Amino acid sequence: MLLAVSAGAYEGTGVSRENPDAGVPQPAPQLTKAPELLEFVEATYPPEALARGEGAEVAFFIDIDENGQVTQAEVTRSAGPEFDAAAREAVLRLRFSPAEVDGKPAPVRIEYVYHFVPKPPPPPEPTAPVEQPVNFKGRIVERGTRDPIPNATVYLPEQGLTAETDVEGRFELRGVTPGKLKVEISEPKHRKFLTTEEVREGEVTELTAYLWKKLESGFETVVTGAREKKEVARRTLQKQELQSVPGTFGDPLRVLQNMPGMARAPYISGALLVRGAQPQDTQVMIDGVPIPLLYHFAGGPSVINASFIDRIDFFPGAYGAKYGRALAGIVDVGTRPPEPKRLHGLVDIDLLDSGFYLEAPLSSEKNYGSVAVAARRSYIDVLLPPILEAFREPGQASTVASPYYWDYQARYDLKLGKDRFEVVAFGSSDRLEVSQSGSEETQPFSLDTSQAFHRFRLGWSRPTESGWKLSLSPTVGVTPFNFRIGDQFKGSITSRDVNLRGAAEKELAKGLSFETGVDLNASFYDVRFEFPQVAKPGEEPPPPVVIQEDVNVSTYAAYAEAVWSPVEALKIVPGLRFEAYHLPGGWRPSLEPRIATRYAVNDRLTAKAAFGIFRQAPQPSEMAPRFGNPDLGLLRSRQTAGGIEWKFTQALLLDLQGFYNWRDRLVVFTQDFVERDGKQEPELYDHDGKGRAYGVEVLLKHELTERFYGWVAYTLSRSVQLDEDTGTYVPVEFDQSHILTLVGSYKLDSGWEVGMRFRLTTGRPETPITGGTFNADTGRYFPDEGRPGSARGATFHQLDLRAEKQWTFERWRLSAYLDVQNIYNASNPEGTLWDYRYRESAPLRGLPLLPTFGVKGEF
């Protein structure tokens, strides 16, 4: 008998009987392999029985041939005609593996039982859980600034529900049980926020929470990508370092005067005196566009609103090939592209001027770009005249002085795919009107001066698929300067300016990047002077003498610079700048190679060195045919620098470097004559000037952290120029041997910030006066002078303090500050005043104790 193993849901078991062979006795055959079901066939279930859930069993004897096919099925136990027929039809289509007898395939008969088992009804399709609606949502923002706070945790302790805010500060919670509930909001940099809200049935409750910062208005610095350091001396100041330095009245560009290599400007001058050079030897730019003025008159505030400034890069020397046309340093002011998500602005009011700044997206739903505008105007012209009149003694001349200034900036930015477009306009204007009515001792007098500039720039940038980063920015502008003394003597110098900068940069390989570009600049000067003529007795005054000159100066530069790191610790920056100057005397080509290296000795110490050749054109007044020498060429400077950077901690850096600058072909006054157009004419200026500057600069800087920033800057330098009369080198006018500056600002709790600045500089060179000599022809005394530069002025020292308090409301902030210059009222003589015979003298006192108060509101 054979046992069949069940092989399916409806399989059965049975017994096989093998008939003995009647004949000659043979050995009994042995079943060596039983058949196995290989393919089961499901029978058709009788519908009515299936509906009733009725099961059944049908037993068969089935014959299986040597191939495993079922050849015969005989019902041995019936379950009814319907079940029998359905089962037999299915059994005849079953397939088995062949049975083996004595190791060979053989036909067999087995008993097989087919089972009809009603299948259970299929389970119902799972229904998706019904998502409960959002009934509690809101937005978490910072108090005062309304900036969104991402990753803040919103927790309902009574219901165990939690949500986290997204980048917009928004959150949502579903299925909150209606009623009053406690809400806890926490984020590491902000104070924990607790509130109780009520959720009503069928309504959505919205919450806007304003979180206090743990350190109210602490300093912040956001670094989206560290700028690669490739220069020996590039000092970068961030926005928050630029607006709270004591003694600067919150003016960013005045902070430059506290950097190593920058000498103190005399009195209230705003001149930039870099490493002993002349003010005109340092070029100032805004986003790469040269500007003629950095400060408003009398060393007033800078000509660009502080809110527009993102950073200031100061290169005191040995700068890269991207810049040119300056023998000393470069100041590049970077403006901040507006990227607001809402209307944002501020209003700033102090004792001298008032200004505002606004930025906003043009649409909150579509990409129409964003705009920012700023403007400022002084009101000294309103306050000063009544003050002068109040202090006027009876019988004195009535003097009216009306100085005022204003500036403006506007910017539009749009990003379309990979392209970024900019439209920028900025300008400045200064005017001074002084009039004196005259008295018995004085003559009537009037003075009217004005200076201004206006610039309009377009910008485009795009990264390409091949890895190049392209940028192009054309700029046009006008720079007028006018003055009038009395009713007849007038003058004006107006220039029309055109500038174009374009650059392409790419990382060519690992450790090798390349940048190339063009820098084109043209200035067309119109110089005009009007002089009165003296009338003969009894005759009408003749018309004034008018002298007018056109002086055109244009420069066309192309540059290339690579940053190569053959090994990770070494960085080599070779650069080449070619510039063609078109001056009144013709073309002056200039090839200026430069190179800088940096080597990281370890994680904390970096050594650096640089060398380069730099040239610039003379001043337009020195090249004007009637006022100067049109044949002048280019001034030259060869600069070298080297030093180390030592990073004591993540926030504390020591920058130590030495420099040596050779200057030649400097423009100096001469009494020689030259032949022009067959006539002997005064040469006035030539290129015989030579000079050199050398020294050491030390900067110990504590980087901007949440509570503190500050630095110690010290410069030991010497700047001299050849005196042709004596054949010796004498100190230049702005040479200062020792310059020490200490700056620090600290954030206290409750919105207070306090800061200090201390400056100490040795005096500037002076030519001593030993007496006076009377000249009978002129009826005047003239000074008897000693050796030029052989004396020094008094040492300058001054302490400035600043305190600021900020109040934070839900949607805006208010701050008030008191900035006091020269807190201990040091006299600090700026020069010497002599009587008309040069016998008695008195010091010209510097600025006394000078407090300034201001308020600022920001929303």
| 8 Å CB contact between 5 and 13 | yes
* pLDDT value of position 126: 63
- pLDDT confidence of 437, banded at 50, 70, 90? low
Residue 755 contacts residue 766 (beta carbons within 8 Å): no
Ranking 127-131, 184-188, 507-511, 679-683 by mean pLDDT, the lowest is 127-131
Q: Report the run of H or E that residue 623 belongs to, with start and end.
A: helix 620-623
Question: What's residue 230's pLDDT?
Answer: 54
pLDDT at 3 > cutoff 60: no
Q: How confident is the model at residue 358 (pLDDT cuts 50, 70, 90)?
A: very high
Per-residue pLDDT reduced to its tens digit, 448-478 = 888 899 999 999 999 999 999 999 999 999 9
Contacts of 76 (CB under 8 A, 6+ apart): 59, 60, 61, 111
Mean pLDDT score, 131-146: 86
What the block records as the tokens of 550 is 């056109």
Using alpha carbons, select from 175, 177, 164, 161 the residue that is nearest to residue 133.
175
Rounded Cα gap, residues 110 and 200, in angstroms:
76
DSSP 849: -
What per-residue confidence (pLDDT) applies to 610?
A: 95
Q: Return the H-helix or E-strand segment holding 382.
A: helix 380-390
- Give pLDDT, residue 235: 61
State pTM to two decimals. Answer: 0.72
**Which of 13-17, 446-450, 564-568, 737-741 has the least mean pLDDT?**
13-17
* CB of 704 closer than 8 Å to CB of 743: no
The rounded distance, in Å, linking the Cα atoms of 781 and 295 is: 37
Q: What is the dihedral of CA 228, 233, 234, 238, to 10 degrees?
A: 110
Which pLDDT score, from 0 to 100, does residue 766 have?
86
pLDDT at 22 over 50: no
The burial class, CB within 10 Å (0-12 / 13-18 / 19+), for 328 is buried
Give the pLDDT score at 222.
41
What single letter denotes the amino acid at residue 528?
A: R
Mind listing the pLDDT tens digit for each residue in 270-301? Answer: 678 888 888 889 998 888 889 887 788 756 78
Bigger pLDDT: 248 or 662? Answer: 662
Q: What percent of the chain has pLDDT over 90?
A: 34
pLDDT at 4: 33
Half-sphere CA count of 517, side-chain side, radius 13 A? 26
At residue 681 the predicted structure's pLDDT band, cuts being 50, 70 and 90, is confident
Check: CB of residue 585 under 8 Å from CB of residue 530: no
d(Cα 25, Cα 52) in Å, to the nearest integer?
56
Using 50, 70 and 90 to split pLDDT, how confident is the model at 17? very low
Look at residue 593 in the predicted model and tell me its pLDDT. 97
- Per-residue pLDDT at 739: 94
CA-wise closest residue to 169 among 199, 145, 142: 142
Walk me through the domains of the chain, giving residue ranges and CATH numbers: 1-127 (3.30.2420.10), 134-211 (2.60.40.1120), 235-332 (2.170.130.10), 333-858 (2.40.170.20)
Instruction: State the Cα angle at 676 between 674 and 682, rounded to 5°.
Output: 40
Mean pLDDT computed over every residue of the chain: 84
> Which tokens in the block code for residue 474?
């054309």
Q: Which residues of 733-749 are buried (b: 16+ CB within 10 A; e: fewer)?
A: bbbbbebbbbbbbebee
Position 440 confidence tier, pLDDT thresholds 50, 70, 90: very low
Bigger pLDDT: 167 vs 301: 167
User: What is the pLDDT confidence band of residue 799, given thresholds at 50, 70 and 90?
Assistant: very high
Residue 384: enclosing H or E segment and its boundaries? helix 380-390
First CA to last CA distance, the chain: 98
- What percentage of residues in the chain have a pLDDT greater than 70? 86
Q: Rounded CA gap, 306 and 409, in Å? A: 11
Q: Which of 791, 773, 790 is nearest to 782 (CA)?
A: 773
pLDDT at 641: 94
What pLDDT sits at residue 408? Answer: 94
pLDDT higher at 414 or 828: 414
Please list, in sequence order, all residues whose beta carbon lies within 8 angstroms of the beta carbon of residue 632, skipping any fewer than 6 positions away.
583, 585, 618, 622, 623, 667, 685, 686, 687
Please determine, for residue 231, whether its predicted confidence score (pLDDT) is greater than 70: no
pLDDT tens across 481-521, in order?
888 877 678 888 899 999 999 999 999 999 999 999 999 99
pLDDT at 29: 79
303 closest CA partner among 358, 251, 261: 251
Instruction: Give the pLDDT band (50/70/90) at residue 143.
Output: confident
Query: Residue 405 and residue 427: Cα distance in Å, rounded?
Result: 11
Position 241 confidence tier, pLDDT thresholds 50, 70, 90: low
Q: Are strands 708-723 and 673-676 parallel, antiparallel or unpaired?
A: unpaired
| Alpha-carbon gap, residue 6 to 169, rounded angstroms | 65
CA distance 530 to 546: 5
Beta 570-583 vs 545-564: how paired, if at all? Answer: antiparallel
Contact (Cβ atoms closer than 8 angstroms) between residue 89 and residue 24: no
**For 278, which DSSP code?**
-
The residue type at 373: V
The reported pLDDT for the residue numbered 19 is: 46
pLDDT at 390: 63
Residue 625: pLDDT band (50, 70, 90) is confident
Characterize the bridge pairing of strands 841-844 and 831-834. Answer: antiparallel
Phi and psi based region of residue 393 (left: phi greater than 0; alpha: psi -120 to 50; beta: remaining): beta
- What pLDDT, on a 0 to 100 scale, did the predictor assign at position 146? 83
Q: Return phi, psi of residue 389, to 5°.
A: -70, -35
Q: Where are the beta strands (DSSP E) in 417-565?
A: 419-436, 445-463, 469-485, 489-509, 512-531, 545-564
Helix (H, G, I), strand (E, B) or coil at 279: helix
pLDDT at residue 394, rounded to an integer: 62
Contact 732, 724 (CB under 8 A): no
538-564 pLDDT tens trace: 777 778 888 888 888 999 999 999 999
Which residues are bridge partners to 63 per DSSP?
72, 109
723 pLDDT exceeds 50?
A: yes
What is residue 165's predicted lDDT score, i.e. its pLDDT? 92
Give the residue carrying structure tokens 């005054």. Answer: 541
- Cβ atoms < 10 Å from Cβ of 191: 14
Cα diameter, the chain: 177
- Whether the CB-CB separation of 716 and 737 falls below 8 Å is answered with yes
- Span 86-113, mean pLDDT? 87
Is 315 in contact with 231 (CB distance < 8 Å)? yes
Residues contacting residue 158 through CB under 8 Å, at least 6 positions apart: 181, 182
Question: pLDDT per residue over 586-596, tens digit each?
Answer: 999 999 999 99
